[in-house]
Structures are given as C-alpha cells and as structure tokens.
Amino acid sequence: MSKKSDRRLSLAVAASLIAGGVMLSAPAHAQINVPQAGATAGGTIAAPTVMPRAVTVEQALKAPKDMEAVIEGHIVNRIKHEHYTFQDASGSIEIELDDKYLPTNQQITPETLVRIIGEVDTHRMKPNDIDVKRIEIVK
C-alpha cells in the first residue's frame, strides 16, 4: 500500500469510529458536561430534580411501576423473610426489605416510626408493593 492509501484508510477508520460514538482521546471514565435547557453556555444548573413520588400508601397502591416512594409509617408485621406489612394513616402495603438495609444495633417494633425510600413494583394479579432501598428511623 502507498502512503496515500494508508492515510485514506486511517482517515476512514477514524471517521467511522467518531461517527459510531467512539472517542479515542477520551479516558474510560470520562464525564460529559453538556449545557442544560435554561443554562447559559458552559453553565450548569444546581437545582434539585423534581420527580413524581408516592408519599402515602394509598398513592403507592395506585402508582405506576418504578415510581419513587418516600413514606413514613410503621412496619406492623412480618409476612415472610424480607417481606413485611407497612402501614400509614392511608392504608397498608407489602414491602420487600432486604436484611442488608436494616439499621444496625437498632430494633424496629410496630410502634417505631420509620421512613422507607424505595420503588413501587406493580403486578398483574396482586396489589402493588414497594421494594425498599433505604429505611430510616424517624425521631
């Protein structure tokens, strides 16, 4: 191959890599900082994201799949391993609470006020439940 055809091949490979989204000069853990709507060029927005969330059991029972749930109430009984009944003033719902999320050296009783943070799971043949990702004792 001639130098001219080598150069054309190199340019063709580079162009296809760039068009395919591969950047040869970017590190493996590169962070992309793009302007957001409403931001000035090169600026960023430092505001909390407002997403819909269920804040009562009643809302969680009607919520779509994967909606965030942040609810205060009580764990009133154990259904089976890592499955409990959670209750607030609006009703009760089954929660799935992995042992790894339980607070260490603290006992939770039906009288303990807790805040659960998780995602709503929907089912065809049974009511919604909540997959708990974090639990906090409210003091």
Residue span of the structural domain in which 82 resides = 53-137
Q: What is the pLDDT of residue 46?
A: 72
Alpha helices (H) along the chain:
3-19, 57-62
Decide if 99 is inside a domain: yes
Decide if 73 is inside a domain: yes
Q: What is the pLDDT of residue 53?
A: 87
Q: What is the pLDDT of residue 20?
A: 46
For 110-138, the pLDDT digits (tens) are 999 999 999 999 999 999 999 999 999 99
Q: What is the pLDDT of residue 21?
A: 42
Decide if 29 is inside a domain: no
Decide if 71 is inside a domain: yes
Q: What is the pLDDT of residue 91?
A: 98
Task: Please give the tally of structural domains in the chain.
Answer: 1
Rounded-to-integer distance, Cα 60 and Cα 122, Å = 10
Q: With a cut of 70, which residues of the chain have pLDDT below it?
A: 1-42, 47-51
Q: What is the pLDDT of residue 139?
A: 84
| Residue type (1 letter), 139 | K
| CB of 95 closer than 8 Å to CB of 125 | no
Residues counted in the chain:
139
CA 79, 82, 86, 92 torsion: positive or negative? negative
Decide if 116 is inside a domain: yes
CATH number at residue 132: 2.40.50.200
Decide if 35 is inside a domain: no
Rounded-to-integer distance, Cα 69 and Cα 67, Å = 6
